[in-house]
Amino acid sequence: MCFKNLPIEFDSQGKAQLKEGVSNPYTYQVKSLHAEEDQLRTLLAKNGHIKSVDFDPVTRVAGALAFHTVADLKEGKILSANSMATLFRGYEVILKGRDPRDAIFISSRACGVCGGVHATVAAHAMEMAFDIKPPPLGIVVRNMMLALEYLYDHPLHLFLLAGPDYSQAIVEQSNPEIMEKAWRTPAPGANIHGYANMGKLMEDMNPLTGSLYLEALHMTRVAREAYVLLGAKYPHPETIVPGGVSVTITLQTFNEVYARLIKFFDYSKKAAAIWDDLTNFFYDANSRYQEVGSRPMNIIDTGVWDDPYAYDASYKNCNEWGERRWATPGVIIQGDLVTTRLQDINIGVEEFVDHSFYEQWNSHRFKTDPAGNPLSPYHAWNKETIPKPQGQNWKERYTWDTAPRWDRMSVEAGAYARLLITAMAKKLPHNRFIESTGTSLKIQLPRATKPALELEWHVPKTWNAFERNRARAYAIGYTAMVCMDNWQHGMDMLKSGETAVSTKFEIPKKGTHIGAGFWGAGRGFLTHHLVADNGVISNYQINTPSTINASPRDPFGTPGPYEQAVMNTPILEKYSGPENFKGIDVLRAIRSFDPCMPCTTHIHVDGSDRVVSREVNTCACGVD
Amino acid sequence: MRILIAGVGYYNLRDLSLGPLMLQQLQKLDWPAHVEFDDFSFGPIAVMQRMEDRPGFFDRVVFLAGVGRGGREPGSIYCYRWKSACPSNEEVQQCVTEGVTGVVSLDNLLVIGEYFKVWPAEIVVIEVEPSSEEWGDDYSEPVQAAVPVLPGLVRQAALGPLHRFHDSPYVATLLD
């Protein structure tokens, strides 16, 4: 029994059903935000040290994100936070009425980093809807491509986007006492990363000039090249098809990929040691850093990397093939793993628009999923995207993001969710390099130019900005070794003549077909839900990790993950007054999620001859 | 004297596709052997890394792109010699952030290339002010009208003396 809030129970066979005797099972009352906002206004009017602080745009994140806070600069507390996606994401509207295959190419444009994964998830949705099963090598190649896409993404986050927040250049300004301590503190991981003290390490985290920043830029190239060897083009491959991939794979291809993948073996060791040292150093300097970006450990992930001999694309069997993945699907609530079944994850997600710039839809076309489990009217297969632009108002509606919730609770997504759930679930099928212990993940990194090393990442006791980043660093090694394991499977297949990479298919021209792609972007949880009627898309819904993480308050009054994390963040930077307050702790909290909002870009502006191709800024100063 | 002619832009966004689409057209014309072509629409960081592979190889780069700056007549051609200049480090960082997360932009490309010192001393930019940034693989009428002028102008920018190009954008037609 994994649901506490949804009106769903399970019978003795484990089949979900609506609880008996509940009339209007999915209705809810919207909790008013007026009282909270009025109280804040009173505080702002009465106290000079309570200030509205806007981060608009939030820099060093992908895309258009703005953040409004009310901060008590005397007590060092954030009293309120509002996350704003400042552009409309229109893909769901654009895709309506099109050939389902267009979803691969159009949804790929949702992101300039995760284009490959959007294309793949679209292919998965079609495979489920139209009963298309890819051959094993096609699955292996997809697994490798998406591992490589993540290997592009993880260094970006750790050293270009979030990383500079921990650099000498930033810390010297925000907390000079910590930088002084850093120069005096030996780095425990010196034998792995090569930095004798924390000051030197943080100096090399400096943006643009630090060698770790520059090395990360270089590693993105290594990953990109490897991806292109398989997928021909990045970030928007044209080789992803329902039923596999449309490329010719040879031993030479695999060898060239290997030559690049091996570079991540040493880089994984180094990245993990760096973020272990950074995290422990900050905790030691001030234990309150454990509160920065903290929130309950409520985590969701679809799992990624399919078992080539288990994945059959069907919804009926998705619980089974999901649990065979190299990263286990699951939901963690208050630190406890409550399910690893994809169907539970799927039927538990609802998307609310009560504080977003959308109209509520009224239909409830699908009362159950294809397996007969009950579906909410707010579920993606029932949701409609009806944009309704209007002014921002903290009491009413303030963002283009929606509020996805699982079992009506605020959960977060991230690459780290893969580590958390896989470590806790102990369901990882046998593989050569990764072991799930229930409380940790052990990753065997082979010798490259540095000796072989066993990395062990432990499920942390607290969940905060530092642990998100630390887990992301370990995700490099995890991802690299999943790729390596798949590489070996692929080599075995090639040697045995199992060379097919795609399955022929046809899009049925009649009838209703529904499907979903459950995968993960570099930043975590990603789903595409497809409804096709008579051969064309009648509904398409994309739920990205940043849709979840950047979400506004839900109808029950619960803030979204960014908002929660920021409100739990103590202000630890040194400042003499509002004029030199930089908000670095708030920014650390936000950036630890790796916000990615480019799904808001490339938007057609209705009634005009224009497509917005990059972000805009929104001045939130005058917002009610 | 080795010269690179590079197109920059988004595909399937009508006038913003001018750079890569014109590049295909230009490549079909006769050019001296020391002129190369490349589509630089794949992200400024990747472009920078590609240039780093051939340090100092090119003596001149000519960029061609549809760039909407506003306040200019749609379809007008602007031309200038780009002078080395880097904004503040914060702005360079923002360019890098946009670059690695998928934004294709001539300005970002110029800044990133400059910061990482991959450009030769001679850079000429030819921009066309877009009229339509709608989905599609054709040009708007004003930009279509400008297209016949571009091969000659690009040839002059690539092969002609550099002193004929100003340092700030100006409306360009074929130079006499």
Task: With beta carbons under 8 A apart, name residues in chain B contacting A610.
Answer: 132-134
Please state whether beta strands B60-66 and B122-128 pair in parallel, antiparallel, or not at all (unpaired).
parallel
The whole-angstrom separation of Cα A454 and Cα A434 is: 10
B10, B93, B135 ranked by CB distance to A207: nearest: B93
Helix (H, G, I), strand (E, B) or coil at A609: coil
Q: How many residues does chain B have?
A: 176
CA distance B156 to chain A (A): 31
pLDDT at B81: 92
The whole-angstrom separation of Cα A125 and Cα A122 is: 5
Nearest to A145 by CA among A43, A60, A253: A253
B46, B102, B135 ranked by CB distance to A598: nearest: B102
Q: Do B103 and A235 touch (CB under 8 A)?
A: no
Hey, what amino acid is at A393?
N
DSSP state at residue A568: T
CA distance B137 to chain A (A): 14
Task: Name the stretches of chain B with pLDDT < 70.
Answer: 169, 172-176
The CATH number of the structural domain formed by A67-612 is: 1.10.645.10
Hey, what amino acid is at A55?
F
Torsion of CA A308, A314, A319, A321, to 10 degrees: 0
Domain parsing of chain B, residue ranges: 3-171
Nearest to A325 by CA among A427, A442, A435, A445: A427
Distances (CA, A) of A587 to A293, A613, B48: 9, 25, 29
Q: Name the H helices within A519-599.
A: 545-549, 561-567, 584-591
Q: Name the H helices within A232-379.
A: 251-261, 263-285, 318-323, 342-348
Is the Cβ of A614 closer than 8 Å to some Cβ of chain B? yes
CA distance A60 to chain B (A): 6
Task: With beta carbons under 8 A apart, name residues in chain A contacting B13.
Answer: 611, 613
Q: How many residues does chain A have?
A: 624
Q: For chain A, positions 202-221, list CB contacts with chain B under 8 A.
A: 207-208, 217-218, 220-221
The whole-angstrom separation of Cα B95 and Cα A355 is: 32
pLDDT at A511: 98
Would you state the structure tokens that stand for residue A561, as one six-digit string?
A: 């993950």
CA distance B127 to chain A (A): 17
The whole-angstrom separation of Cα B97 and Cα A59 is: 8
Please state whether beta strands A244-245 and A240-241 pair in parallel, antiparallel, or not at all (unpaired).
antiparallel
Distances (CA, A) of B91 to A267, B8, B19, B98: 28, 20, 24, 11
Is the Cβ of B131 closer than 8 Å to some Cβ of chain A? yes
Q: Read off the pLDDT of residues A465-494 as tens digits, 9 standing for 90 and up.
A: 999 999 999 999 999 999 999 999 999 999
**Nearest chain B residue to A601, by CA:** B103
Q: Read off the pLDDT of residues A266-315 as tens digits, 9 standing for 90 and up.
A: 999 999 999 999 999 999 999 999 999 999 999 999 999 999 999 999 99
* End-to-end CA gap in chain A: 42
Q: Do B45 and A217 touch (CB under 8 A)?
A: yes
Q: For chain A, positions 102-161, list CB contacts with chain B under 8 A.
A: 111-113, 115, 156, 160-161
Q: Do B93 and A60 touch (CB under 8 A)?
A: yes
In this structure, whether the domain defined by B3-171 belongs to CATH 3.30.70.270 is answered with: no
Q: Do A221 and B43 touch (CB under 8 A)?
A: no
Task: With beta carbons under 8 A apart, name residues in chain B contacting A613.
Answer: 10, 13, 16, 103, 133
Query: Are the C-beta atoms of A346 and A426 separated by less than 8 Å?
Result: no
A63, A115, A614 ranked by CB distance to B105: nearest: A614
- Is the bond into A136 cis (omega within 30 degrees of 0)? no
Nearest to A612 by CA among A26, A25, A94, A198: A94
Hey, what amino acid is at B13?
L
The whole-angstrom separation of Cα B21 and Cα B151 is: 12
Nearest to A419 by CA among A369, A478, A367, A363: A478
B46, B105, B131 ranked by CB distance to A224: nearest: B46
Task: Name the stretches of chain A with pLDDT < 70.
Answer: 63, 597-624
pLDDT at B52: 95
The whole-angstrom separation of Cα B142 and Cα B133 is: 13
Q: Which residues contact A245 (CB under 8 A, 6 or more apart)?
A: A138, A141, A142, A145, A230, A231, A239, A501, A502
In this prediction the ipTM stands at: 0.89
Q: Which residues contact A582 (CB under 8 A, 6 or more apart)?
A: A173, A174, A573, A575
Q: Do B97 and A59 touch (CB under 8 A)?
A: yes
Would you state the structure tokens that stand for residue A381, as one six-digit string?
A: 């297969």
Q: Do B103 and A614 touch (CB under 8 A)?
A: yes
The whole-angstrom separation of Cα A216 and Cα A164 is: 12
